[in-house]
């Protein structure tokens, strides 16, 4: 059986107080979060890169078994659209350095914009700039990427196809790397992420995760439906349905 690490996309949401975090003031939400889940997907790096010292503090504030995934900055994916990204990539790698050196890094998430079509030569040139020892997961958001040539490039460079549950693209349990990466966005309207999965919807993912576990060494999964703390609720439900052990010294979700 694979190692299965489930968490949420982000942890520092004010509306989680009273739902995920206790009503009383929690001085360090990341530290508290790490007592509930074994991994987090850092989404703040998409909007603005922090100093490497901040990333180093994330390592210090969490247990040794805790893992981090992190989004590529939007300057690479949405502004430069994968072209001429060397400088921005270098800055991103500098932020990741203290996490990687501590052995605490899971994967970097390349979340592509829905306006970017697949163009094999451009994609290949970008993939060639990535360090071969950097685990990367690529999330498609435009249908032209769902073609054999795109998946072939992922396999050639050892990058993971992000398995997405959302309103616009089909769920594809495509394995292209030694690890699998799953994201649950929700099916809210007009905002995808404003959505609470029913227990039945969560349970339906159990056989899918078990199928993936037969084909990869590690599975990383993140719920992105952060409104009201729904991501934490759904994540805990899936972990329980899969029979995953909670982190040592686990804190309970606030009722």
Report DSSP letters for 199-215, one per residue.
HHHHHTTHHHHHHHHTT
The answer to the question of residue 185 being in a domain is yes
Burial profile 151-174: b = 16 or more Cβ within 10 angstroms, e = fewer: bebbeebbbbbbbbbbeebeeeeb
pLDDT digits (tens, 9 = 90+) for 83-140: 999 999 999 999 999 999 999 999 999 999 999 999 999 999 999 999 999 999 999 9
**Number of domains the chain is built from:** 1
Q: CATH number of the domain that 187 lies in?
A: 3.20.20.410
pLDDT tens column, 162-216: 999 998 889 999 999 999 999 999 999 899 999 999 999 999 999 999 999 999 9
List 95's β-bridge partners, or say none. Answer: none
C-beta pairs of 199-207 under 8 Å, 24+ apart in sequence: 199/237, 202/234, 202/237, 202/238, 202/241, 203/241, 205/165, 205/238, 206/238, 206/241, 206/242
Asked whether residue 83 is assigned to any structural domain, the reply reads: yes
Containing domain of residue 78, as a range? 3-241
- Assigned domain for 178 exists: yes
Q: Is residue 249 part of a domain?
A: no
- The answer to whether residue 44 is domain-embedded is yes
253 is a domain residue:
no
CA distance 109 to 117: 18
Give the span between the Cα atoms of 229 and 225, in whole angstroms: 8
- The mean pLDDT value for 141-166 works out to 97
Is 193 inside a domain boundary?
A: yes
Q: Over the chain, what is the mean pLDDT? A: 95
């Amino acid at each position: 059986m694979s190692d299965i690490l489930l968490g949420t996309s982000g942890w520092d949401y004010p509306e989680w107080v009273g739902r995920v975090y206790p009503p009383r003031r929690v001085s360090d939400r990341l530290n508290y979060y790490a007592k509930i889940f074994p991994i987090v997907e850092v989404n703040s790096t998409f909007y603005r890169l922090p100093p490497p010292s901040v990333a180093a503090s994330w390592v210090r504030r969490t247990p040794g078994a805790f893992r981090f995934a992190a989004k590529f900055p939007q300057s690479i994916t949405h502004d430069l659209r994968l072209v001429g990204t060397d400088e921005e990539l270098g800055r991103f790698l500098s932020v990741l350095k203290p996490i990687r050196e501590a052995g605490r890094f899971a994967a970097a998430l390349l979340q592509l914009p829905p306006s970017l079509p697949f163009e094999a030569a451009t994609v290949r040139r970008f993939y060639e700039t990535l360090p071969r020892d950097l685990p990367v997961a690529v999330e498609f958001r435009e249908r032209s990427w769902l073609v054999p040539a795109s998946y072939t490039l992922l396999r050639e460079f050892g990058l993971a196809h992000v398995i997405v549950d959302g309103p616009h693209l089909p769920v594809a349990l495509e394995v292209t790397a030694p690890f699998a990466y799953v994201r649950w966005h929700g099916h809210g309207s007009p905002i995808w992420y404003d959505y609470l999965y029913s227990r039945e919807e969560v349970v339906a993912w159990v056989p899918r995760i078990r199928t993936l576990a037969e084909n990869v060494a590690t599975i990383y999964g993140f719920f992105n439906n952060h409104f009201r703390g729904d991501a934490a609720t759904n994540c805990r439900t899936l972990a329980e349905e899969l029979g995953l052990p909670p982190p040592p010294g686990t804190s309970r979700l606030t009722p």
